[in-house]
Amino acid sequence: MGCQLSFHVASNSAFFPFTFLFNIFSHFMQIIVLTSTLALKVRGGGGGGAPRTYTKLRP
């Protein structure tokens, strides 16, 4: 769906700046998501994630 929409907009030369901005925005979102997940992994780490599941398994 999203790919189709972007393709339609890209085919129209009038909307080229919009697609350019949209691509930049999507790239920024990807970077933000990646950095946030990395930060969470570093903050929580293996020590943060493992004990939580351990406590869940224990009665």
Domain segments of the chain: what residues? 24-59
**Three-state DSSP class for residue 47:** helix
More confident residue, 44 or 27: 27
Residue-level pLDDT at 17: 77
Torsion sign over Cα 34, 29, 21, 23: positive
pTM attached to this predicted model: 0.40
Give the integer Cα–Cα distance in Å for 9 and 6.
5
